[in-house]
Each structure stands twice: as C-alpha cells, then as structure tokens.
Structure 1
Amino acid sequence: MSDPTSAEADAADDGSEDAGSEPDAPEIDLPSEAFDAVLDALADREPGEPVRFEGFSVARGADEDDEDAPVEDAPGEYVLADGDRPVGLSERELHEALSERAAAVTDWYTFERVVGEFGPRRAFLRWIEDADGDTVATRYAALAEGIERAWGELKITATVTDRGERRYDVRHADDAGVPVDDLDAYDDPLNARDLVTFDEQGRYRPLKTAPSLAGGWVFPDLGPRDLYEAVETIYPATVANWHREREGELDVTHWRETMERQSGIYGVVKTWDRGEGYEHVNWVAEACCDDSQCLKRREWQYDDETDLDVDGGDGAFPCREPCSVVVSAARKWTRLESEQPRTYEFDLTPSEKEQVEDIIDAVADGRTDEIREADTKEGANRYRARFLRAKLFDDEGNLGGVPTESAEE
C-alpha cells in the first residue's frame, strides 16, 4: 500500500489554477503498461476505493446486487469521478477515458510504478521537475522543452517522450550545449565509476565531491532509476543525505565525536583536542571544507554546543560528518603542530615578502596553472619563483642559507 506521500497523494491536487493560464501539455499516447498498472491497482482495492490522478479519480464499481454500492447512480465496471457527477464505464470505455487524460495517468504511472516507493530516489526525481509544485500540464510542457537542473558539477536535463516516459541527459556542466556526438556517450550508469576516478590532468580524486570532475562524457538517454544510480555513483550518498535533510532526519556527527572514535594511527588526532580551544578545527575546516575544495555544505561543527567560526559553504547537498580526507589531513597536521616553534631570520625585500605570500595563496587556491609564464607581474609566476629560489637558496636548498633544525618525524 502506498504511503500518504505517494504519487497518488501528490497527484490529488485538483489543479485550481485558472485554466486559461495552463500551458498546453504535449500530446501523450497512453502506453498499454500504464493502463494495465491502473487495472492492477484497482484490483487491489475495495469497490469505491479510488486511484487518484491530478483532477480526477477512478474506482471499481460495486456488484449490481450490492446494497452498499458506493456509487449507486453510476453503474458500471469502473467509476470515473471527474467533476460533479461520477460516470460508470466499461473497461473499454475506461481505456478511452484514460487515453484522453494520458498525461495525468502516465505521470501517476511514472512515480507510482516505475520509480516506486517514497524515498530519496523518488524525492530527487520529483524535485528535478518540481513535481510537488507545478501541475502535470505545466510540467509536461516544460519537459517537452527540457528541464535543466544542476547537481554539483553535473547538468541534468529531463525530457518526456510521446508516451509520457521520462528520459534524462547527464553530463558535466562545462559540456552544456555540446552535441552528444562530440562527447563519449554511455548508457550504463556504472560506467560513471571510471569517470570520477581521475581529474582532467589524470590525477586521482580521493574526494568524489571535490570540484575536479573531468568532463567530455555524457549519459544521453537514462531512465529514472538509471539516472539515480548514475548520480549516486558520481556523488555517493549525496541524494540520500539531501533527502534526510529535507525530511528533518539528517544525523550529524560533529568533530569531537568523530575524533573520539579514531583508533590506530589516527588516534593521535585525539591528542590535538585542546578542550575549550578549537581554533585548530577552524583551520582544518577552512583548509578542507571551503566551496573551492568540496561541493558539500558542511553541517558538522566542533560539538553539539560549539559552532565553528568558518562558513560551511553553499553546496546543494549536506556534509554530515568530517570525511576521511579531513581526518587524514588532521592526523598529519596534528603531528606537524606538535613541533616546537623556532625562530628563523631571513632578509627579504618588501616585494619578496609579498611574493612569498602570493605563492602561498596561489598554491592554496590551486591557481598555479592559471598563471601565464610571460606574466611576471604575478608573484607566483614560475620564472619569478625560480629567480627567488636562485637568489635565496643555498646549494643544499636552504632558504637564506639557514638549515632547518631537526624535528621528530
């Protein structure tokens, strides 16, 4: 039995908008499988218990000798309620009536039978076409033109066939408008596993939600279930957590709780917890959880009572706990921060000091590849950096000829 949030309940909206403002939905042919699904749904219900579509409903009629006939003035094998007076219909007449209302029927069939039970998949597919806001006619008119949605670095385009079937084109947002023939086309959503492994430069991507997804590919013709599979393969658990958040059920595990359960080589991170002092966690979040580094929106804080001072980002999908990349980086920083500070003296001109700052900023922001070799105005320009190294490093690679005092590894 469908729950109250099923497509039947969603489609029960009687479309109270002014009829003149409704766009013309495309002509839809009622597929036999959709009609058969309606008959199956009715067979599972008591006489008079309707299957609801947008603007009308259908129920099984009562037996002729049933004194408790639910619709006494509409005798027939089936009863169509569409307006003030119900109408009794035979199976053939029901098929004709549903064919005239094929958009609403195929919409019900898509979400109730093809997509299935209410959950992350169904919520995500309905969100793509604003199925909980617009009427069927409005959505089908938009689907005929193509509805575009962004999900991380993905561009998803939803369309509808003349049989009311949803089809989806999934590609990198940078490839919007590129003909399918100019991209590597795939039809199996599991092919996405290989597409997300390396970035454009062939470097391994340890964080699947990093904004470094390579382009040049397309899934041009996915069905609803395959679309969900492809998106979850490219961005694991993002739809599930997005759905939990929408339902008010997102379970967030904060920094302290996450670190307290670390063991083995990662147990050292627990020694970095300074009680009330959590400035180091702000540094970690600023380094790892900015929009430029991860497409998730950080929802975890220091603990239940203490928020971090660093913004969590603007991503569409939430981050519910420090990820393995954050934990691994924190382990390294824990060891580095355990070193005792030393004082080193170097002679730098004001411009050289600013150049060191520019180099650090460029590396931290991943902009080094964007700085042209001929642009020596940039402090992080490769030739300027090489000049600074030639001037300030000794033969052993020590800055200013000052050796680094040994520290524990």
Structure 2
Amino acid sequence: MPEPTSDATADEGAAADDDTETAPEVPSIDLPSDAFDAVLDALDGRDPNDPLRFEGFSVARDDGGYVLDPADGDRQTGVSERELHEALDERAPAVTDWYAFERVVGEFGPRRAFLRWLEDADGATVATRYAALAEGIERAWGELKITATVTDRGERRYDVRHADDAGVPVDELDRYDDPLDARELVKLDEKGRYRPLKTAPTLAGGWVFPDLGPRDAYEAVETVYPATVANWHREREGELDVSHWRETMERQSGIYGVVKTWDRGEGHEHVDWVAEACCDDSQCLKRREWEYDDETDLNVDGGDGAFPCREPCSVVVSAARKWTRLESERPRTYEFDLTPSEKEQVEDIIDAVADGRIDEIREADTKEGANRYRTRFLRAKRFDDEGNLGGVPTEPAETGDEE
C-alpha cells in the first residue's frame, strides 16, 4: 500500500504543479453557500497579516473589505463580500477542497489522514484529484474496495464494498447506509462460521455502502477492521507503541497466566511456531510488528499487510494457552507401518488443513493426498475399530511441569 507524505493543514496550501503536462480537466463545481459561509467565519477576527490560504491563492480581511491574493495574478484589495463570492466561485474546487477537510472532516488525526490518503490529497493538486475523483478513485484496505468520488458541490462520497464485488451493480448487492450495520456483516464468513479475528482474510461479500459521507465512510472501515486506521496513522507518525511477546504474556492472568510458563529452555522457537501458525498473511491481514522482546527478533517474517499489528492479539494468546498445555506433555515413541506414499499422504493432509485448501480438492482428484475418498481409504486401512492409527493406542499424557 503506497504511503503519502505527512498530512498538511489546508491553511498552508499546496504548491502548484510545475509539470508542463496538459492540466487535467476539472469537473464543474458550484460553490455551495455553506462553504462560502465557512470562509467568512474563518476570516472573522483573523489577523489580516495571516491570510486564509487555499491552493493557488489566499484571502484576508482588511478595513476596506477583503484582500484576494492569487499566486498567478495581481493582488486585489477592497474586495466586497459579493465580489469575494464571485471570485471564490471561480475557484470553487480549491475552496470546496479546503471546506471538505477543514470543516466537514475536521480534526488532525487518523480520520483526516485516512480520508486524505484515499485521494492522495497530500501528493496531488486539487485539479488532478478532482479530475480523478470525477471518474472515481479506488483504494484497497484489506479486503475492502473503497471508491471516492466528488459531487458538483465538491462533496466527497464513498462506495465501500468487498473487493470481490468490484464492478457489481449496486442493485445486485445488499445495500446499507448506516456504517454501524457493518457490525453484523463482519460476524460470519461466507460459510456462516463465526469470525473471531476481524482481520482474517475471510470477510464475506455481497453487500455495499454505496453513498457514504466522509465521517460515515471512516466509521464503516473502522467497524470492519477495528483500530486499523488508528494504528496505521500512529505508524506513519512514528508513534506506534509495540508490545512484544514477553511483555504481553507477562500481563496475562487467570486461565491465561499459564502462558507465562512457556519459556522453557533457551531460545524462542515456540513463539516462532505461534507466529508462523497465526500471523502469516494467509491467516491475518495485519503486518506483525511485535517480536519476542525489545532485543530479540523472531525468525518468522512479519508479513506484508497494509496495517500494523502492535501486539499479540486475543486469538494468538488463546491459541498459545492451548499449545502451552499441549507442549507440556512428554514425548512418546509410537511405531506403526506406513508405505512411503501413505507417509507423504499424511504430510499432504496436514498441509492442506493448515493452508485451508481442503475445500479446493475435488472428490475426483484421488491423486491429491488430502482427497476425501483417498483419506477415507487410508483410515479404513490403517485405523483399528477404536480409531487408533496403526492399531496403536495413545498412551496417557504426562505433563512436564505442574501448573
């Protein structure tokens, strides 16, 4: 996911594009009265030596009216309110762009940074962006596709949907207008199974929020992927507070306190196994930034997700609790016969289950080790009536350390 430059205030304006290429065709924009009123409000009580800056010009108030100072023309003084309205109407894209972020979006924080990032507001001129917004600017956020557009009044509108539904007409999808409706959409995957991890790549599609304003679009995204925008913004600002494995596990208590005992021996191989099992891109859309501790990195790649993971999540902690108990069992040696092909088949079955590929293997593909009929044949051949592999019963577990 590309990173824009740091968010800048609209008052500071943006540098004009020095490229000699043909300027993009800006859609016709009418200056809405609320945008003009916002300009007048911003000028009330403002120091005349501190003009309100837009892209390509600035406006200030003086004793004789208003001062209009274009970057590419002569400075005008004594401008009346009516004349100012006419001048700003001619520059409506720049004014409505200021109004959209300064007054509609407001605060300098994650929401503003995210909405500006959606249209590359810190890396392109108003003319370039408005021309692109007229066609629709598309951005990916996890499994979401967000399309930003602009109305003839300079208002931003957003279409939020599953990326798999790109190009599907709105009337062929379930339409929603309240961003909080997304809470129900993210609960289950396409097979109706509960999704304990909201950033798992299992988001079901078939729905759309086709016409959201800036604040509602942000709310919808944060409902689908909680805290991802906030952490993305903290990372951009160099303020991401990472809590590593050791620190997070030390905070566990109650039934999860047992995880703190899982540091037997030297090294952190067990944490590598946890990260490989739970934090791979195929399992989570976040990019793992936490390590074993401040001084010790894991030997597992953190992934390529767009938004950072700042600490082991509840799914990881819950899984680690179970594995802590299982790993406390003492190993046993079991002997049973397998042909070379059967050994490879067991390996194929484990790989297919771990990678979530079982549903992709057709019943007719008996060459696949994890094929259902081939697996049933292996069970019929190698399991006894009690379900023991090779007829060898499992010995009672003996744990190493008592809890």
CA distance in 2, matches of 1:52, 1:346: 80
Partner of 1:218, secondary structure, is strand
Q: Shift of the alpha carbon at 1:85? A: 3.0
The 3 A distance-change label for structure 1 pair 20 and 283 is closer
Q: Shift of the alpha carbon at 1:336? A: 0.2
Q: Of 144, 148, 152, which residue of structure 2 is paired with 1:162? A: 152
Q: Shift of the alpha carbon at 1:273? A: 1.4
The question of whether the paired residues in 1 share the 8 Å contact of 2:27 and 2:134 is answered with yes
Which residue is equivalent to 2:60? 59
Which residue is equivalent to 1:7? 10
The 5-angstrom pairing of residues 106-121 of structure 1 reads 106-121=96-111
Q: Deviations over 1:135-172 (max 9, x none)?
A: 00000000001000000000000000011000000000
CA distance in 1, matches of 2:145, 2:202: 15
Q: Of 342, 346, 357, which residue of structure 1 is paired with 2:347? A: 357
The question of whether the paired residues in 1 share the 8 Å contact of 2:138 and 2:148 is answered with yes
The question of whether the paired residues in 1 share the 8 Å contact of 2:120 and 2:129 is answered with yes
The question of whether the paired residues in 2 share the 8 Å contact of 1:48 and 1:60 is answered with no
Which residue is equivalent to 2:3? none
Which residue is equivalent to 1:71? none
Q: Shift of the alpha carbon at 1:46? A: 2.1
Partner of 2:385, secondary structure, is coil
Q: Of 117, 120, 131, which residue of structure 2 is paired with 1:130? A: 120
CA distance in 1, matches of 2:131, 2:265: 58
Q: Of 298, 302, 305, which residue of structure 2 is paired with 1:308? A: 298
CA distance in 1, matches of 2:363, 2:16: 61
CA distance in 1, matches of 2:264, 2:76: 74
The question of whether the paired residues in 1 share the 8 Å contact of 2:8 and 2:122 is answered with no
CA distance in 1, matches of 2:139, 2:155: 18
CA distance in 2, matches of 1:276, 1:97: 72
When the two chains are superposed, the root-mean-square deviation of aligned CA atoms in Å is 1.2
Aligned partner of 1:55: which letter? G
CA distance in 2, matches of 1:112, 1:103: 14
TM-score by length of 1: 0.94
CA distance in 1, matches of 2:265, 2:9: 48
Q: Shift of the alpha carbon at 1:21? A: 2.8
Q: Shift of the alpha carbon at 1:260? A: 0.8
Aligned pair 1:221/2:224, yes or no?
no
TM-score by length of 2: 0.95
Q: Of 93, 98, 101, which residue of structure 2 is paired with 1:103? A: 93
Aligned pair 1:236/2:226, yes or no?
yes
Partner of 1:210, secondary structure, is coil
How many percent identity over aligned positions? 84
Q: Shift of the alpha carbon at 1:190? A: 0.1
CA distance in 2, matches of 1:284, 1:219: 36
CA distance in 1, matches of 2:368, 2:396: 33
Q: Deviations over 1:286-333 (max 9, x none)?
A: 000000000000000000000001000000000000000000000000
Which residue is equivalent to 1:210? 200
Q: 4+ runs of 1 displaced by more than 4 Å? A: none
Aligned partner of 1:39: which letter? L
CA distance in 2, matches of 1:220, 1:261: 42
The question of whether the paired residues in 2 share the 8 Å contact of 1:23 and 1:137 is answered with yes
CA distance in 1, matches of 2:14, 2:350: 57
The question of whether the paired residues in 2 share the 8 Å contact of 1:49 and 1:60 is answered with no
Aligned partner of 1:27: which letter? S
Which residue is equivalent to 2:24? 23
Partner of 1:21, secondary structure, is coil
CA distance in 2, matches of 1:181, 1:259: 48
Aligned pair 1:397/2:398, yes or no?
no
The question of whether the paired residues in 1 share the 8 Å contact of 2:17 and 2:125 is answered with no
Aligned partner of 2:104: which letter? V
Which residue is equivalent to 1:82? 70
Which residue is equivalent to 1:70? none
CA distance in 2, matches of 1:276, 1:353: 32
The 5-angstrom pairing of residues 125-274 of structure 1 reads 125-274=115-264
The 3 A distance-change label for structure 1 pair 19 and 101 is farther
Which residue is equivalent to 2:279? 289
Q: Shift of the alpha carbon at 1:86? A: 1.4
Q: Shift of the alpha carbon at 1:408? A: 5.6
CA distance in 1, matches of 2:174, 2:203: 15
CA distance in 1, matches of 2:349, 2:21: 61
Aligned pair 1:388/2:361, yes or no?
no
Q: Deviations over 1:348-405 (max 9, x none)?
A: 0010000000000000000001110111010000000000000011111011110001
CA distance in 1, matches of 2:143, 2:28: 33
Q: Deviations over 1:62-92 (max 9, x none)?
A: x2xxxxxxxxxxxx31100013531021000
Q: Shift of the alpha carbon at 1:346? A: 1.2
CA distance in 2, matches of 1:171, 1:13: 31
More divergent stretch after superposition (110-119 vs 80-89)? 80-89
Count of equivalent residues:
391
Partner of 2:67, secondary structure, is strand
More divergent stretch after superposition (306-315 vs 21-30)? 21-30
CA distance in 1, matches of 2:190, 2:398: 37
Aligned partner of 1:77: which letter? G
Aligned partner of 1:129: which letter? E
Q: Deviations over 1:221-256 (max 9, x none)?
A: 000000000000000000000000000000000000
Q: Shift of the alpha carbon at 1:5? A: 3.4
